[in-house]
Structure 1
């Protein structure tokens, strides 16, 4: 497809340009040996891919993973299961000698922060991702991830813009905490100028009503960021983020993108500003070819049960339900399908 439709460069040149544009993190654990070039044919299921979403920050700001999603592709390599790790999940973050972090029980979204310091007040999100991966591995029992990616939400917006927006089904009425109906930022109350309030914004709010809509990039990203005012808070947001990933994948594979070289090039160009990819020795192209059999309609969204963890009247974060360990075992043993048949409540009703 890349060599047809009037694209005036060879396929090889195009592939080299755009796979090279994606920031390559080499290996998740920073092990040079694992980063050795491997053949695409080596990618076989089942595979587990760790995705972390962050808001754009400079190198002087410790990164926080605002979204953590694990994608499990079974041995058949024809479908994918997505489940989210709550950003406020209270977990044991392991020690990380590179930064002098001795390990502690904290919210999981801070793992990247504890692992990112490189000295002189600077931070490296790739290094922070290593500690996040170790933390999620300890939580789930997944020994190591086969690939991973850090997604910069600010850059990700460019991908949606390049695709001309994204069609999503909004499953509940949501009011934006951050934006006005015209997309501009809501003003802050004067007494909250230094972010000292839980709900610092005032003025009219952008509202997203139930139904299926073709959203602009700013609307889609604003919608999936909302958690305040939702009946289930961050758990509703997790579901919306999974729905967004599914909608993005479906849109990217639509004829409006893959058969339109001009649009495709815009999407690939935007991806270079948005993704840091850890292929564990394989290129982005290798992974794309390995996963070409995945049907976006067969993307199953999973909700993990959980709730607040409170000790001595103090909220520490979130905790997962007691049966989640059984689910994690099903992930490790590539038995998610049979597990979901026995536990249909784990399947998001709004997949």
Structure 2
């Protein structure tokens, strides 16, 4: 019979029967359990191919709107290495080290990330780290609100394999275990996690994007740990650590860092006098026309112990937190909502100015004569 003589309804019926047959066959395969889902046996080639094509196309399409910030900042890369050590090593291992045999038994096995920068642009790496991948064991970042943390990990991964040789230093592993009283503080594992990034008796922070905790009030530090543990203050890096601690361990860690002597400021970069003056004005007088109160009204150490001391804090950290408040990422607590209103009223340039001024000051103290402090 000539196909030209077939009526369209006949063709439709044939196609419908064929589709029904495919569906019926699929149902038989699904309900029969004949397909082996054991991780000890690879998928069929067609199954693997389909998963890979779907995954790669999905990542490409969904990451298209993402715009990458500059990723060449050394402190951002260092922070990303610290986050990688805390969250990624159990499955992907450290650069240059063998993957755990148990992890190699996963299907699919976690990929070697040393060449991920060659396979994916930064936007795609960011999307994968933030959202995870279904059916691979790759989880989403614990806090979807902390894109700054995800970008730090992205910066580190994009730098591989160049950073592989410096990994132990970048991630803080070379900062050394502590002995004496601090080495016995709380859980040894908990303190090791903290001092890999934050201060200890011998070192400052592992980069300027990590907050300085030494000398902060015990009340503020304990409140922060509790908020991380309860998910009130978002952080994909800090929430799992704080949740792991008992209340007694949180109290001991807060006491330890409160009593720790702050490290000296790094004066390698000379401050811009005009920027320091603008920042000093915001810190002590605020910006009335923008309804921005003076920073030192709350953060001079004379008010509630739940307010952190911000003089002497790293500028990069202050900027990151203010932008996070502007974007609504720290509204979970009453204190966070107060700061969100302040940060939203600030312009980006004003954030840079006040952060530069506060970073130029002596730890815990802010001077009304900013340049006298800045040039000490």
| TM-based fold match above 0.5 | no
When you count strand as a share of all residues, which structure comes out higher?
Answer: 1
TM-score w.r.t. the length of structure 2 is 0.24
Higher helix residue share: 2
Larger-Rg structure: 2
